[in-house]
Amino acid sequence: MRVELREVAKGRKDLALPPTSLSFRTGRATLAIAETEQRPTVLGLIASGRMRPDGGTVLLDGARAARTLRHKTALIDAPDVSDPPPNISTVGVVSEELMFAGRLADPISARRWLDEHDLRSYSRVPIGDVPATDRIRMLLELAVLRPGVEGIVLVSPDRHGGDPHAWWTLAREFAGRGLAVLVIAGEAAATLLTETDPLAPHRRLVPSGIRLRGTRPKASR
């Protein structure tokens, strides 16, 4: 699976998102850097087939297929769009996601899922109080339960604080599991990753002003 955005833009005078080009594909984690409060979510919506750009083109495996892209791609933790309300209990979030995945979604099943992923201690904790790494790992694991999901777009994981290496490691892990992974984050987190990660590839500036960074995970044994 390869998703390509060619000069996509959104909003009056492209204020919501300036012309942006990027791609992400199966088996690779790609980092896109988008600043301002709104742009990461707008970019995530477009990259996952959930918003039509006002300009430019979105391609899935070389063809325009927004509906297919939407079904194949999970949009994760996008502010004000797909992030769970902070006051909902973690077990409630898990129950809802299990329902979306077509699984048993009662509280017992949700707690069992948390047990299986070593997250049971957060069962009654509001999702907004779960530490960043565990929150992101949980949302990623739940998203890939949905039938047909082949790609992940994770929006602004850096807003939760914590070490960006933790969520970038998760992104690479899920890419290694055969998913196409796009992470959209801010400049500060991306700079820290580039300066301190010995496995970090070079970043390149694309015409839109969105910087990209990708890595191919090591083959699993």
Whether the per-residue pLDDT at 27 is higher than 70: the answer is yes
Binning pLDDT at 50, 70 and 90, where does residue 195 land? confident
Separation between Cα atoms, residue 108 and residue 20, nearest integer Å: 44
Given a contact cutoff of 8 angstroms between Cβ atoms, the answer to whether 42 and 19 are in contact is no
Binning pLDDT at 50, 70 and 90, where does residue 199 land? low
Separation between Cα atoms, residue 165 and residue 157, nearest integer Å: 11
- Distant-in-sequence, close-in-space partners of 123: CB < 8 Å, separation ≥ 6: 89, 90, 91, 110, 111, 114
Average confidence (pLDDT) over 140-157: 97
The domain spans of the chain are 2-85+149-215
- Name the more confident of 89 and 214: 89
When the pLDDT of each residue in the chain is averaged and rounded to a whole number, the result is 89
98-147 confidence digits (pLDDT tens): 999 999 999 999 999 999 999 999 999 999 999 999 999 999 999 999 99
**pLDDT at residue number 206:** 38
Whether the per-residue pLDDT at 198 is higher than 60: the answer is no
Identify the weakest region by mean pLDDT among 34-48, 68-82, 121-135, 190-204: 190-204
In the chain, pLDDT over 90 holds for what percent of residues? 78
- Distant-in-sequence, close-in-space partners of 181: CB < 8 Å, separation ≥ 6: 24, 28, 29, 30, 151, 152, 154, 171, 172, 174, 175
| Domain 2-85+149-215: which CATH number of 3.30.750.24, 3.40.50.10800, 3.30.830.10, 3.40.50.300 | 3.40.50.300
Separation between Cα atoms, residue 96 and residue 146, nearest integer Å: 12
Length of the chain: 221
Whether the per-residue pLDDT at 200 is higher than 90: the answer is no
Amino acid at 77: D
**pLDDT at residue number 14:** 83
Average confidence (pLDDT) over 59-82: 95
The most distant pair of C-alpha atoms in the chain lies apart, rounded to whole Å, by 50
pTM: 0.88
Whether the per-residue pLDDT at 180 is higher than 60: the answer is yes
Q: How far apart are the first and last CA of the chain?
A: 23
- Name the more confident of 126 and 13: 126
